[in-house]
């Protein structure tokens, strides 16, 4: 099997190899901190050896549970927010049919995976209930803390709905909780109710948890090969552990180069892909990097575009707007399917010059053309290539990005494994909602509300 490939050829006009090499000492130290567990947030490094440590027992257990759900549910609802749902969604959306919802009953993914608890929209939940009223379903509720408002509110509603629909015993067989091994409200509720549970390890934060049951259970339920996903991650783990040298380790190169660009005022990184089914992969990456690095008035702002769609919206800004951007193109070697452009005798649309070509070839030319245009417009471009979108290569990408994020965060001088800023809105929301214990904050915040 091939390994993903990082190309830095199109950042060469913007940072010299000497400027990148200056980061080698910081990268070496960060690399050591990751393995020696001596850096900031070292309680949250369980993801580092995770691909090597996942054993057959846990994979088989997850596959058995997934198989039970596949036999008993038309719909599987994944309740979770942030790191407790984005990894699963990234992989499932990347691998599933783009128009699954419109396929015939026999052709469709079974069960259909739907997501809840990632917002507080009453209309969203109400529409979901409309669907769940008519279909057999099961759910997983994923929350490491067990107290996050969005999934907790959603679970309260869906749990009641399930119990009304199937009775208490029937509902119990359709609920799987993924949470802390010993504490939190969800753990207690699961113990009281006798739900099947999986553990989010103490030393793995939400956004690094896709290779735990948090990601693996929904991905297995959706019918994808979790063993190949883990294998891809494991082979990337082995590769990245070999050397901290920027010239040999692509994650070290990516981490060093993006920091070199950042020091030159490139404060926004756009992940670019040319496959709409990678939209949620970008969302996962945005959370990983945004939540890990955006701290202490620092950090590269992670954004995303799906081309060529966004070339007709964001393309103008990227080409000619404020020059504080760099891009990382996630490039896919070959599609799963083939469509050739037909020859037409009349040729009114003047497209015969590309007749006989596959659409993917045109897409690749769009990718190369755009990269060169953006480089000309002063936008440095990384390219990360994978041969195809498959469980194996997505596994490689996951581990590559996680490892690079840890290095990059340490180089930046922050703790890449906490997220203190996420608490600020929660405190205000609890105060506004009048949560017991927040009386003083409630009084203060209500005075601040303006028309």
Contact residues: ligand PA5, CB under 6 A = 81-84, 143-145, 148, 151, 205-207, 291, 419, 422
The rounded distance, in Å, linking the Cα atoms of 303 and 285 is 9
Q: Whole-number minimum distance, CB 81 to ligand PA5, in Å?
A: 5
312 catalytic residue (yes or no) = yes
Closer of 116 and 332 to ligand PA5 (Cβ): 116
Closer of 282 and 371 to ligand PA5 (Cβ): 282
DSSP letters, 394-444, are HHHHHHHHHHHHHHHHHHHTS-TT--GGGHHHHHHHHHHHT-TT-HHHHHH
Q: In a 3-state reduction of DSSP, which class is residue 334?
A: coil
Closer of 41 and 151 to ligand PA5 (Cβ): 151
- Contact in structure between 204 and 50 (CB atoms under 8 Å): yes
Closer of 197 and 257 to ligand PA5 (Cβ): 197
Residue among 64, 264, 426, 427 flagged as catalytic: 426
325-332 vs 268-273, strand pairing mode: parallel
Q: Whole-number minimum distance, CB 147 to ligand PA5, in Å?
A: 7
Q: In a 3-state reduction of DSSP, which class is residue 281?
A: helix
Dihedral in degrees, nearest 10, Cα atoms 420, 426, 430, 432:
120
Closer of 100 and 418 to ligand PA5 (Cβ): 418
Q: Whole-number minimum distance, CB 418 to ligand PA5, in Å?
A: 9
Residue among 93, 150, 283, 291 flagged as catalytic: 291
Q: In a 3-state reduction of DSSP, which class is residue 178?
A: strand
Q: Whole-number minimum distance, CB 212 to ligand PA5, in Å?
A: 11
Q: Whole-number minimum distance, CB 435 to ligand PA5, in Å?
A: 17
Closer of 103 and 433 to ligand PA5 (Cβ): 433
18 catalytic residue (yes or no) = no
Q: Whole-number minimum distance, CB 402 to ligand PA5, in Å?
A: 12
Q: Whole-number minimum distance, CB 422 to ligand PA5, in Å?
A: 6
In sequence order, the 6+-apart residues with CB closer than 8 A to the CB of 195 are 172, 175, 176, 177, 189
Closer of 365 and 422 to ligand PA5 (Cβ): 422
The number of beta carbons lying within 10 Å of the beta carbon of residue 157 is: 16
In sequence order, the 6+-apart residues with CB closer than 8 A to the CB of 70 are 110, 111, 221, 223
Residue among 312, 337, 440, 447 flagged as catalytic: 312
Closer of 150 and 391 to ligand PA5 (Cβ): 150
Q: How is residue 342 annotated by DSSP? A: P
Q: If residue 329 lies in a helix (H) or strand (E), which one and from where to where?
A: strand 325-332
**Residues β-bridged to residue 332:** 386
Q: Whole-number minimum distance, CB 87 to ligand PA5, in Å?
A: 9
Q: Which tokens sit at 342?
A: 């037909």
**Residues β-bridged to residue 75:** 112, 137
Q: Whole-number minimum distance, CB 397 to ligand PA5, in Å?
A: 18
The rounded distance, in Å, linking the Cα atoms of 126 and 112 is 18
175-179 vs 196-199, strand pairing mode: parallel
Closer of 142 and 300 to ligand PA5 (Cβ): 142
Q: What is the 3-state secondary structure (H, E, C) of 32-84?
A: HHHHHCCCCCHHHCCCCCHHHHCCHHHHHHHHHHHHHHHHHCCEEEEECCHHH
The rounded distance, in Å, linking the Cα atoms of 177 and 146 is 10
Strand order in the sheet with 196-199: 112-116, 75-79, 137-143, 175-179, 196-199
Closest residue by beta carbon to ligand PA5: 206
**Residues noted as catalytic:** 291, 312, 426
């Amino acid at each position: 099997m091939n390994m993903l490939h990082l190309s830095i050829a199109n950042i060469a006009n913007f940072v010299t190899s000497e400027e990148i090499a200056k980061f080698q000492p910081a990268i070496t130290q960060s690399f050591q901190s990751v393995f020696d567990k001596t850096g900031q947030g070292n309680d949250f490094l369980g993801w580092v050896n995770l691909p090597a440590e996942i054993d057959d027992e846990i994979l088989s257990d997850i596959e058995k549970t997934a198989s039970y759900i596949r036999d008993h549910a038309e719909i599987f609802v994944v309740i979770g927010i942030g790191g407790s749902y984005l990894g699963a969604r990234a992989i499932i959306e990347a691998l599933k049919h783009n128009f699954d919802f419109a396929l015939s009953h026999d052709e469709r993914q079974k069960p259909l995976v739907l997501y809840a608890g990632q917002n507080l929209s009453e209309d969203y939940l109400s529409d979901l209930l409309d669907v769940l009223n008519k279909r057999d379903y099961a759910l997983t509720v994923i929350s490491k803390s067990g107290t996050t408002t969005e999934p907790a509110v959603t679970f309260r509603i869906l749990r009641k709905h399930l119990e009304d629909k199937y009775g208490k015993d029937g509902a119990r067989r359709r609920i799987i909780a993924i949470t802390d091994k010993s504490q939190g409200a969800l753990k207690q509720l699961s113990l009281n109710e006798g739900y099947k549970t999986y553990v989010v390890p103490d030393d793995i934060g939400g956004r690094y948890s896709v290779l735990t049951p948090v990601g693996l259970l929904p991905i297995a339920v959706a019918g994808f090969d979790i063993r190949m996903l883990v294998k891809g991650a494991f082979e990337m783990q082995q590769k990245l552990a070999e050397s901290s040298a920027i010239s040999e380790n692509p994650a070290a190169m990516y981490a060093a180069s993006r920091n070199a660009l950042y020091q030159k005022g490139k404060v926004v990184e756009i992940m670019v892909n040319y496959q709409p089914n990678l939209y949620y992969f970008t969302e996962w990456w945005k959370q990983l990097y945004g939540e890990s690095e955006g701290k202490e008035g620092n950090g590269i702002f992670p954004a995303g575009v799906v081309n060529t769609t966004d070339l007709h919206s964001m393309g103008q800004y990227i080409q000619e707007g404020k020059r504080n951007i760099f891009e990382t193109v996630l490039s896919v070697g070959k599609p799963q399917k083939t469509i050739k452009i037909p020859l037409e005798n009349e040729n009114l649309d003047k497209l015969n010059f590309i007749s006989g070509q596959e659409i993917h070839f045109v897409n690749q030319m769009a990718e190369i053309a755009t990269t060169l245009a953006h480089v000309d417009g002063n936008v440095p471009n990384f390219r990360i290539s994978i041969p195809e979108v498959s469980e194996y290569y997505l596994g490689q990408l996951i581990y590559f990005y996680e490892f690079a994020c840890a290095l990059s965060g340490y180089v930046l001088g922050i703790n890449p494994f906490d997220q203190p800023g996420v608490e600020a809105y929660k405190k205000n929301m609890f105060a506004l909602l009048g949560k017991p214990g927040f009386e003083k904050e409630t009084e203060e915040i209500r005075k601040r509300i303006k028309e």
